[in-house]
Structure formats: structure tokens, C-alpha cells
Amino acid sequence: GENVEQHPSTLSVQEGDSAVIKCTYSDSASNYFPWYKQELGKRPQLIIDIRSNVGEKKDQRIAVTLNKTAKHFSLHITETQPEDSAVYFCALYNFNKFYFGSGTKLNVKP
């Protein structure tokens, strides 16, 4: 299967700071790259996604960048708030299958 590496595994930031999570992958056929947020005890939910024909996408405080040549994509959260504390998963899609990274636990300290 596809190998998706996600870093860091844990990230602690002060409220108001930025957070960046990075994922690398190996299969160049992947064309859809979503990010999911999972709060403690809850189900994962999509927060933003990007397709391979786009380099960057923003949605308020969240942005995702994609570098297909280097095979990596990143999640950027600006002006972090305590409610951003959760586990974040990157994923990629390749013909019917979604492959997930191992997750990043983000802790935003008030």
C-alpha cells in the first residue's frame, strides 16, 4: 500500500502561534489530499482538502500546500486557539483507497 509519513507526532504551541504539520508520500499517482481533525473521543472530520492540480488552498485560519514534485503536503494553522487542540491526520487518495498518516496531536496552550 501507499506509505504516508506524518511529522511531528506531537506539537505543542502557545495560543496565537502558528502550527505546521507535514506529510510525505511515495506514490505519484495520488491526486487528492484531505486533512482530518479528530477531537478526543470523536470521529475524524474533514477540515480541508486539495487536489493535485492546485498548489495551495486556504479556508480562514487553515491552509494546505501541495508540492507534487517533492511529494509532500502540509497543513498550516494560523492564530491557533484552544479549540484547535486535537489529533490531525493527513491522507491521500489513490483509486478507491484512502491512506492515512499516523496523526499529529496538537496541543494549544492558553
Q: Does 31 bind another protein (CB under 8 A)?
A: yes
Q: Residue 16 or residue 46: which is nearer to another protein going by CB?
A: 46
Q: Residue 65 or residue 104: which is nearer to another protein going by CB?
A: 104
Burial annotation 83-107 (CB, 10 A radius, 16+ → b, else e): ebbbbbbbbbbbeeeebbbebbebe
Among 11, 63, 99, 107, binds another protein (CB under 8 A): 99
For another protein (CB under 8 A), the number of binding residues is 25
How many other C-beta atoms lie within 10 A of the C-beta of residue 61? 13
